[in-house]
Structure 1
């Protein structure tokens, strides 16, 4: 036996190379962030407020419809099909309550952690700042979908109970089946979730600029309100296509027959631009930020 063979046989079995297992993608940080968002009492109260609007709206329409006072009915289109309740509620809340809810969530994302002193300890776990920022934004996107569901699901349930279902009359005047109408409502929910996610990216960037969550929330609401104001100025028509709020109401094209996707596609494209640009701006700010608290 050669010397090389002796060395080979003398090697302990523990030195044999072990197969490298691929590292699993952990969702622990995301689950922890979602529990934090869902566990806050103010967020739970906010969801209840969002859910109360379509319920109050549907009951008001039902009472005004059943009355014999001869006055103008409130949102009379709701009476034709209960699926119009979530659509009407979303069209109302997307201009105020839903952006306000997103402002509160985005303000807490980074500024809230810095304000209560947990951000510094979170980064010593260790958690890479890029990963932390990505998880924060993903949780905001999920929170946006939660907010839309809090409006649409109770609205659909109470609408179907009070006004029934059946064929749905589209904005084009034709009728589609109940399943098709339900599918269109789901598409509207996803579209508005994308719209709020674009707004969340702006809020995430603002949240990296301060350690006061209330200031970040107010700043995002000011941004939203100013955008709505600018969108109503005819002299600024050249700016309107670049305002994120200008595309909020494009979901109405999903209620046509056939569905029109031109405005919806432009809206989704702009939402993606806002998400990428402002997330990168937040990353550029947060990656070099001195965490002192």
Structure 2
């Protein structure tokens, strides 16, 4: 896990004062500055590149190890019959580990990274306001989650079309839809997965306000993501499962039926909204009383 790209010292101070000046000039400058800083970092592109490798490696592995006369799991047969399933398989593989890992890194660095570099004071002197600061940091994490899921879907569709035949897709309900119709469903899947990361993003934002050490906040967020999934697998805690933020992560089957049902989408949205409200409020409460100007 790499450290933030920006080092401490005079360069950081100049960057902080520059962002503060831009914030005074334009109402939405802080959000633009945050998104620009996030997506200019080599670490961000390295994580996106690693996520893009997931569908590529899956497609290459299936292409190299399966054939008309070889067996294997059903989903591998789906990929060999239709390359559009690469995107779906890559999303399913990425949800338990790879996406939470990258979201934990980005969200854990939101406030703690600025605190470790000493740039918060310049942003708040702008004046930015602490509530606006917290909201902008959270929106930046959400933007990364959306970009990551869309990247997996797009790369999966591209490599699937390159290595396998493309044709009508058989949905879970047994009906077939054309490639363009499935593309729309794939985008809905990406939105579902990105929405599934909203609760974890809020938790990461909160942990980031508790420390000035970004690596600590990153690690805590990733560990909580793993712990939630472990608890969700214990039948003794079935009463707790509906309240775990990871409980609906793989519940996108309704989007692959005909007609589309948005029941799981709505349930997941409500669950994630609860975590956003609770941990967003905790993050702001902690940051509002945090001494960042000394």
Answer yes or no: same fold by TM over 0.5: yes
Contact in 1 for aligned 2:207/2:221 (Cα 8 Å): yes
SS of residue paired to 2:248: helix
Q: Which runs of 5+ in 2 are unaligned?
A: 1-24
Task: Give the structure 2 partner of residue 13 of structure 1.
Answer: none
Task: Give the structure 1 partner of residue 193 of structure 2.
Answer: 192
Task: Mark the structure with the bigger radius of gyration.
Answer: 1
Shift of 1:71: 4.8
Q: Which runs of 5+ in 1 are unaligned?
A: 1-23
TM-score by length of 2: 0.87
Q: Does 1:131 align with 2:121?
A: no
Task: Give the structure 2 partner of residue 57 of structure 1.
Answer: 58
Q: How does 1:1-293 map to 2 (within 5 A)?
A: 26-66=27-67, 70-72=70-72, 75-292=76-293
Give the Cα separation in 2 of the matches to 1:223 and 1:159: 33
Give the Cα separation in 1 of the matches to 2:151 and 2:276: 23
What does the per-residue CA deviation read over 1:46-101, in whole Å, with 9 as the maximum and x for residues that have no partner?
A: 11100011001011111223486x35367221122222111100101110010000
Give the Cα separation in 2 of the matches to 1:111 and 1:154: 32
TM-score by length of 1: 0.87
Give the Cα separation in 2 of the matches to 1:92 and 1:269: 24
What does the per-residue CA deviation read over 1:204-255, in whole Å, with 9 as the maximum and x for residues that have no partner?
A: 0110011111000110111111101100000111110001111000112211
Give the Cα separation in 2 of the matches to 1:71 and 1:255: 25
Contact in 2 for aligned 1:38/1:44 (Cα 8 Å): yes
Name the CA shift for 1:78/1:220 in 2 (closer, same or farther; >3 Å): same
Contact in 2 for aligned 1:48/1:150 (Cα 8 Å): no
Contact in 2 for aligned 1:111/1:213 (Cα 8 Å): yes
How many residues in Structure 1 have an aligned counterpart in Structure 2? 269
Stretch deviating more after TM superposition (48-57 or 38-47): 38-47
Contact in 1 for aligned 2:66/2:72 (Cα 8 Å): no
Give the Cα separation in 2 of the matches to 1:211 and 1:251: 37
Give the Cα separation in 1 of the matches to 2:101 and 2:193: 14
